[in-house]
């Protein structure tokens, strides 16, 4: 029997560490819990699905039912000499999945090492880091439609993955619970992605000339630890905003005014600007308003130094957006999910 609790604090279940109380709360441990939830008519009242809570900002208490996804299990589904198809249940901790693939010497997830959260949330924003995005290895997912109790399969095209984006980020947030994902990985001749400069630098500092997937994972892990705050110690949800993408003409206008502008090639011929740089130029890096702050090693990360509530962090983000808009004419969009 699935247990539904009342008035449960979510403070330890979101990495910002902000307080919010779920009116009702249940943990999904096995696939059949979802069917049971549906049969009992409780699936209709789902107001929030949580995995690791590492990409949400909770602004207030959550009415209705909050589900915590703890569906467990990883397995090999099919393989050839060169490739392997694996599946992971939605509640698997993402980094545990990465480590499992590395133990099997499977390639594809090494650049995505140490991203917090669960496998089931990875497709929501097509997680990405260090030149790799989930969509590069994604095969399909199975989602449980809460209102109908049906299981629906989505392939990569149907997910419409973009930069920190998929249909799931826009669609009615609680329509589907992503129960399982399938990934296609390499077994040999791994295609390494070392184009992100810091990875090459880290490898060469360690005297590694022919890196393995495990070496790349270790390099990414070390780079991440050097600039991103550990949510166990300082509340945060990674990048608060997306890096904005602008037209070439807009980038040229900005470069003329700000020759130091940090930019990269974006999607569809657009130019991606570094939001961290824009924020830093506005003087926000390392600043604090009450317990809400802009992290001193990475200006794109907003942090909860102690007892900030969701509205404090949102208010800080509004000030930052206002200043970036005033100085650069660029509108920053949140990357995290504001609930």
Catalytic residue positions, numbered:
164, 239, 335
User: CB 136 → ligand EPU: shortest distance, Å?
Assistant: 13
- Give the C-alpha separation, 305 to 302, whole Å: 10
Residue 37 or 301 with smaller CB distance to ligand EPU? 301
User: CB 179 → ligand FAD: shortest distance, Å?
Assistant: 7
The number of CA neighbours under 13 Å toward the Cβ of 96 is: 15
Binding site for ligand FAD (CB under 6 A): 15, 48-56, 69, 90, 115-118, 120-122, 124-125, 127-129, 173, 176-178, 228, 231, 236-238, 337
Q: How far, in whole angstroms, is CA 307 from its chain's centroid?
A: 23
Residue 219 or 251 with smaller CB distance to ligand FAD? 219
Handedness of CA 26, 31, 33, 38 (dihedral sign): positive
**DSSP secondary structure code for residue 333 in this structure:** -
- Give the C-alpha separation, 198 to 295, whole Å: 20
Q: Determine if 133 is a binding residue for ligand EPU (CB under 6 A).
A: no
Cβ contacts of residue 130 below 8 Å, gap of 6+? 111, 112, 193, 196, 198, 199, 220, 223
Q: Determine if 130 is a binding residue for ligand EPU (CB under 6 A).
A: yes
**DSSP secondary structure code for residue 52 in this structure:** S
User: CB 318 → ligand FAD: shortest distance, Å?
Assistant: 20
Among 15, 113, 126, 243, binds ligand EPU (CB under 6 A): 243
Residues near ligand EPU (CB under 6 A), total: 17
Give the pair of three-digit tokens for residue 317: 């983000």
Total Cβ atoms within 10 A of residue 31: 16
Q: Determine if 238 is a binding residue for ligand EPU (CB under 6 A).
A: yes
Among 2, 47, 85, 262, binds ligand EPU (CB under 6 A): 262
User: CB 59 → ligand EPU: shortest distance, Å?
Assistant: 19
Which residues of this protein are in contact with ligand EPU, per CB under 6 A?
Answer: 129-130, 227, 238-239, 242-243, 262, 274, 276-277, 280, 285, 298-300, 335
């Amino acid at each position: 029997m699935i247990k539904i609790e009342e008035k449960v604090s979510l403070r330890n279940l979101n990495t910002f560490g902000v307080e919010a109380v779920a009116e009702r709360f249940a943990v999904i441990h096995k696939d059949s819990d979802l069917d049971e939830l549906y049969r009992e008519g409780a699936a209709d009242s789902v107001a929030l699905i949580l995995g690791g809570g590492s990409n949400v900002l909770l602004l207030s208490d959550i009415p209705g039912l909050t589900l915590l996804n703890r569906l467990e299990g990883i397995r090999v589904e099919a393989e050839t000499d060169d490739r392997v198809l694996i599946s992971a249940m939605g509640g698997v901790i993402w980094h545990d999945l990465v480590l499992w693939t590395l133990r099997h010497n499977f390639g594809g997830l090494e650049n995505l090492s140490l991203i917090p959260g669960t496998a089931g949330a990875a497709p929501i924003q097509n997680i990405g880091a260090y030149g790799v995005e989930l969509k590069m290895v994604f095969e399909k997912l199975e989602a449980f439609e809460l209102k109908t109790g049906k299981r629906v399969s989505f392939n990569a095209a149907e997910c419409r993955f973009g930069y920190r984006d998929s249909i799931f980020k826009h669609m009615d947030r609680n329509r589907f619970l992503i129960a399982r994902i399938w990934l296609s990985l390499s077994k040999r001749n791994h295609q390494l992605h070392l184009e992100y400069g810091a990875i090459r630098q880290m490898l060469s500092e360690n005297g590694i000339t022919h890196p393995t997937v495990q070496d790349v994972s270790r390099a990414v892990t070390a780079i991440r630890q050097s600039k991103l705050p550990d949510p166990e110690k300082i509340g945060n949800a990674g990048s608060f905003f997306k890096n904005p993408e602008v037209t070439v003409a807009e980038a040229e206008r900005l470069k003329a005014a700000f020759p130091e502008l940090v930019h990269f090639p974006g999607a569809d011929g657009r130019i991606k600007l570094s939001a961290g740089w824009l924020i830093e130029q506005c003087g926000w890096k390392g600043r604090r308003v009450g317990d809400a702050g802009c992290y001193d090693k990475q200006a794109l990360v907003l942090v909860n130094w102690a007892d900030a509530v969701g509205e404090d962090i949102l208010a800080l983000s509004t000030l930052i957006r206002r200043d970036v808009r005033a100085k650069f004419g660029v509108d920053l969009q949140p990357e995290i999910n504001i609930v």
